[in-house]
Chain A
């Protein structure tokens, strides 16, 4: 399995150029909602500490908010790119060109990762005004951010391939991504949830992502970061295999 560098990089370039051309919508608009979260939470809970963590609430939610931006934008990039390509008919450009299935998978995935990481990084820069910007393990934070953005870019590819119209993508977004993200411990510690709910949260894969990144930022987490890394890494591999297979069979794009 060889990768033609020019072919592959052209797809990455196309994906990055596509969202860059509408940067107001793709990069800056997401910052508004995240900025509002930061303003509201930093002033509403300025004197509050998170139980079991002993850190100000704003320090607790910043990693979660960064993850939320990164997840939503990685997913949005690949899903909208593919459903848009199907809608405009240019999906055939990717089928007529000599792309291997893995080149298509990685090309779209990296495009989504770049947007997710970019929005996540800008969110971090904005957040520094609210909490000072300390990161306990910066390399680990970047490592987890790369893995998480790849997961949701791949998930976005699946959604984009499956969707037959734009509404279908919002089903994924509204019924899976948003609930899983909001219930993953972005705004609260899962450890502190009453009764069975803290156990239920362990079935939410986004919980591991938020928790691992929170460990990278504050040095504390609900569960061991190594275990989170294992869950996240496994998800990356599984999704890579699934998406490559979907491109191989031409799922919903070849007749």
Chain B
């Protein structure tokens, strides 16, 4: 797998604020890559540098082997960036917007691609109307269509589902997964960690301008030694607390359910204790760590450093 984006020693500051601090990152061709971090972590600044919206102070970025400064024409053609903020040109209809945008990327007569995008993003019946008449979700779809109109190799989605209803979110992901399966590289930033967990192959977690961890989704999740055991009993568990004295557990208001968070090595001991209660168990569930746990751990770790 060859490298789609190579980022080396990128620094960017706004006055006293170090927005990006010595960022190094490789994103491979065909990857579905997640860029996660709390607000102000530097994700959008990094994407801004990639797209030529933000000046970097130092460092080097290449896109498909081309430098973003010296070969900016090539790199911009390779990138399709969906910005976080919804913007639209009020003078032009949806179709006109996409035609003009195709032209910006040097493409004439792009009708087939435009039709494909309008169809994929369910904008066919809105093609001839102005963006002022579109709902927020439709404007977001238009933004995505604009970023894809030149058929870029690398698609960067900066919070694409913020404020978007569930139906659109699902249809958008279906389309993005399809693009990824066609070989497109996808870079996603999102606040919805479950989306990143479901979609991304590899994830970088940023905090305070630094990349605190980059790894495969599985490795990141496995790095958290946590299991959550939920047990539902037929009768209230009250009176048995002393049996579970060594275990840290939460009990529900009706006292029929307990939830225990534990390290993997204690699983056997805990299950044995529960069994020793000799109560009727009507349901049981064991959950592994989630990306959210990794995210919280790594971004808190950043706080501890200060």
Within 8 A of A (CB), among B101-125: 101-108
B101 contacts A93, C-beta separation under 8 Å: yes
Question: How many residues on chain B are close to A (CB under 8 Å)?
Answer: 34
User: In the assembled complex, which residues on chain B have CB atoms less than 8 Å from the CB atom of A10?
Assistant: 100, 102-104
**What is the bound-complex CA distance between A100 and B104, given in angstroms?**
11
Query: Given A89, A99, A100, A255, which contacts B85 in the complex, CB threshold below 8 Å?
Result: A89
Interface string of B54-81 (1 = CB under 8 A from A): 1100000000000000001110110101
A92 and B106 contact, CB distance less than 8 A: no
A158-214 at interface with B (beta carbon < 8 Å): none
Do A18 and B91 touch (CB < 8 A)?
yes
Given A13-B100, A97-B76, A98-B73, residue A254 in contact with residue B55 (CB < 8 A): yes
- In the complex, the chain B residue whose C-beta lies closest to that of A20 is B91
Does A96 contact B81, Cβ atoms closer than 8 Å?
Answer: yes
Contact A88-B105, Cβ < 8 Å, known A17-B92, A254-B54, A254-B55 = no
A:88-132 near B, CB below 8 Å: 88-90, 92-100
Known contacts A4-B106, A100-B73; is-contact A88 B55 (Cβ 8 Å): no
Q: Is the CB of A96 within 8 A of B52?
A: yes
The answer on a CB contact under 8 Å between A96 and B53 is yes
CA distance A18 to B14 in the complex (A): 35
- A255 to B104, Cβ gap below 8 A? no
Q: Within 8 Å of chain A (Cβ to Cβ): is B236?
A: no
- B83 close to chain A: CB less than 8 A: yes
Complex CA distance for A89 and B88, rounded to whole angstroms: 7
Question: B72: which A residues are within 8 A, CB to CB?
Answer: 98
List of A residues within 8 angstroms of B14 by Cβ: 255
Are the C-beta atoms of B88 and A255 separated by less than 8 Å? no
Q: Which residues of B contact A6 (CB under 8 A)?
A: 103, 106-108
Q: Verify if A11 is at the interface (C-beta below 8 Å from B).
A: yes
CB of B53 within 8 A of CB of A254, answer yes
Are A255 and B53 also in contact (CB < 8 A) when A10-B100, A93-B89 are? yes
Given contacts A7-B105, A89-B85, contact A14 B100 (CB under 8 A): yes
Query: Given the interface contacts A6-B107, A6-B108, A99-B104, does A92 sit within 8 Å of B90 by beta carbon?
Result: no
Chain B residues near A97 (CB-CB < 8 A):
76, 101, 104-105
Determine if B87 and A92 form an interchain contact, defined as CB atoms under 8 angstroms apart. yes
A86 to chain B, nearest CB (A): 10
- Identify the closest chain B residue to A18 (Cβ): B91
Main secondary structure of the interface of A (DSSP, over half): helix
Bound complex: CA of A74 vs CA of B101, how far in Å?
24
Q: Is B302 part of the contact surface with A, judged by Cβ < 8 Å?
A: no
A88, B100: Cβ atoms closer than 8 Å: no
Answer whether residue A250 sits at the interface, using C-beta atoms and an 8 A cutoff: yes
Instruction: Point out the residue from B55, B101, B104, B107 that lies within 8 Å of A250, measured CB to CB.
Output: B55
A10-28 vs B, CB cutoff 8 Å, 1 = contact: the mask equals: 1101100110011000000
CA distance A97 to B101 in the complex (A): 8
CA distance A82 to B54 in the complex (A): 18
Q: Nearest CB to that of A22 among chain B residues? A: B91
For B78, the closest partner residue in chain A by CB is: A98
Cβ-based interface call for A50 (8 A) = no
Q: Is A9's beta carbon under 8 Å from chain B?
A: yes
* B302 CB to nearest chain A CB (Å): 23
A6 CA / B105 CA spacing, docked (Å): 8
Interface string of A65-92 (1 = CB under 8 A from B): 0000000000000000000010011101
Whether the Cβ atoms of B51 and A90 lie closer than 8 Å is: no
In the complex, whether B217 has a CB less than 8 A from a CB of chain A is no
Determine if A95 and B106 form an interchain contact, defined as CB atoms under 8 angstroms apart: no
Set of chain B residues within 8 Å of A99, measured between Cβ atoms: 104
Q: In whole angstroms, how far apart are the Cα atoms of A11 and B107 in the complex?
A: 13
Leading 9 A-B pairs by shortest Cβ distance: A10-B103, A89-B87, A97-B104, A98-B76, A98-B73, A6-B106, A7-B106, A18-B91, A90-B89
Given A10-B103, A98-B106; 20 other pairs, CB 8 A cutoff: A4-B106, A6-B103, A6-B106, A6-B107, A7-B104, A7-B105, A11-B104, A17-B91, A17-B92, A17-B100, A90-B88, A90-B89, A95-B51, A95-B53, A96-B81, A97-B76, A97-B105, A98-B104, A255-B53, A255-B55
Chain A residues at the B interface, C-beta cutoff of 8 Å: 4, 6-7, 9-11, 13-14, 17-18, 21-22, 85, 88-90, 92-100, 250, 254-255
Instruction: Write 20 A-B pairs (CB below 8 A) sorted by A numbering.
Output: A6-B106, A6-B108, A7-B105, A9-B103, A10-B102, A22-B91, A90-B88, A92-B83, A92-B87, A93-B89, A93-B104, A93-B146, A94-B104, A96-B53, A96-B76, A96-B81, A98-B73, A98-B106, A255-B48, A255-B54
